[in-house]
Amino acid sequence: MINFHVNGRAVQFDGDPDTRLLWALRDTLQLTGTKYGCGIGSCGSCTVHVNGKAKRSCITPVSSMAGKSVTTIEGLAGTDGKLHPVQQAWLEHDVPQCGYCQPGLIMTTVDFLQKHPEPTNEIINTNIDNLCRCGTYVRVRKAIHRAAELSAREK
């Protein structure tokens, strides 16, 4: 039995401890906002936060979650529905096309901005490697800069 927290809620997982966190979230907890894109850690669409840090859940066994705290896209906005600054920036720039990669990109960006609160294009280029098949990168870049601005304002 593995005990951990997801979006502030205590959960217990009693299946195969080798199950990837992605599938535990999606199939068992029915949190389908976290997406499967590659299963090998290369696309980033399965990104969640584990103890506040971005992690690719498709390669993370649920056994390593014991005692940890997971945040998924569903838990990012405030309980009052107030969007996280990164989501707000995404909304303002109307970033998504098909939208499939976007939860992962948003979770990646939240963590990225914690480490790089004033990102340059260069810093974005070397740190953000999520794949977007629809090619929303032009707006993603703008939204990251905007999110940095909004986050600074919130502080």
User: Which of 134, 138, 149, 152 lies at the binding interface for ligand FES (CB under 6 A)?
Assistant: 134
98 binds ligand FES (CB under 6 A): yes
Closest CA to 109 of 91, 75, 77, 85: 85
Q: Is residue 119 a contact partner of residue 112, using CB atoms and an 8 Å limit?
A: yes
Rule CB under 6 A: which of 27-66 touch ligand FES? 36-39, 41-46, 56, 58
Closest separation in Å from C-beta 111 to ligand FES = 14
Return the residue matching tokens 């280029």. Answer: 125
Alpha helices in 12-136 (DSSP H): 21-23, 85-92, 102-115, 121-127
45 binds another protein (CB under 8 A): yes
57 binds another protein (CB under 8 A): no
Site string for another protein, 105-124 (x = CB under 8 A): -x--------------x--x
139 binds ligand FES (CB under 6 A): no
Tokens of 110: 């939240």
Backbone angles phi, psi at 46, to 5 degrees: -100, 15
Q: Is residue 13 a contact partner of residue 1, using CB atoms and an 8 Å limit?
A: yes
Rounded to whole angstroms, the Cα distance separating 61 from 51 reads 15
Nearer to ligand FES, 123 or 131 (CB): 131
77 binds ligand FES (CB under 6 A): no
Report the interface residues with another protein, using CB under 8 A. 15-16, 19-20, 23-24, 26-28, 30-40, 42-43, 45, 72-74, 76-77, 83, 87, 90-91, 94-103, 106, 121, 124-126, 128-141
